[in-house]
Amino acid sequence: MLVCFVPLLIAFRVKYNSHPWLGRLFLLLIPIFLVAVFFSYARGAWLALAAGGAAWFLIRHKLLVTGFVISVIIGTTALFWLKQNDRYLQYAHDFKTTIFHKNFNEHLIATYRLKDVSTAERFYRWIAGVRMIKDNPVIGFGPGSFYPNYKEYTVPAFKTWVSNNKDHSTVHNYFLLLAVEQGLPGLFFFLLLTGAMLFFAQRIYHSSSAPFHKAIGMLTGVILVMILVVNFLSDLIETDKTGSLFFCAFPPDNCISQFKKRL
């Protein structure tokens, strides 16, 4: 949630740049929020911040939808590549060295080496999720069905010391969760929905001459991309605090009505 406020503050800073004190206020708030995001130690939020910058560039150059489609293709290709001949087993971690690192530098190093416990546990559940999809690719297992079913689909080589999952948490990937619960058609419709949202955000930015509507289009696209990136590592649309923000990404009615008049 903190990281989603950053582009909003930047937009307010631009809008009120000439205001005697509001411009300074937002200029002060931006670094405060950036420091807060950093000390949250949420690596998904850091990645989302970088993705938000990339989304701004893609929207400016009318490439946002293209980038989204390419991302889906890359993700699908990587999945099939890892699954072929059980290649993913080559990346199994060492149970004894997969721990939680309190030192920040060690924590980052362990992340890209797949020796951080949260990263390793994600792989453990993602593999189970993919194997579940294979059994029910069309209709899925139903809502809230991941936890009761996933243990029998796990691969012991990826097990970590937190795999007992006392919190009954899910797969930590919203795209994968949709495919598990609602089948591949459910995932397809979700991707279609998000693709449409990104398309209209970009179109509103480029079709409107009103600065307010252009800002709405840009903010909608940037924040939506950030939410999608975070949800690739989690399933936060299932929670009220983030799900509401995702579904509020639809542009306001007055913005849509003006866009329709321009068609």
Q: What is the pLDDT of residues 89-102, one digit of tens each?
A: 776 666 555 545 45
Helices and strands (H, E) in the chain, number of each type: 11, 0
pLDDT in tens, 171-213: 889 999 999 999 999 999 999 999 999 999 999 999 988 888 8
> What was the pLDDT predicted at 181?
94
> What was the pLDDT predicted at 19?
84
Listed by start position, the domains of the chain span 1-40, 41-262
> What was the pLDDT predicted at 101?
47
Residue type, 66: T
pTM of the model: 0.82
> What was the pLDDT predicted at 96?
56
- Segments in the chain below pLDDT 70: 91-117, 239-242, 249-263
- How far is the C-alpha of 128 from the C-alpha of 145, rounded, in Å? 13
E-only strand ranges, the chain: none
Of 38, 98, 68, the residue nearest 200 (C-alpha): 68
- How far is the C-alpha of 127 from the C-alpha of 129, rounded, in Å? 5
- How far is the C-alpha of 53 from the C-alpha of 232, rounded, in Å? 17
- How far is the C-alpha of 98 from the C-alpha of 121, rounded, in Å? 9
> What was the pLDDT predicted at 235?
80
> What was the pLDDT predicted at 106?
55
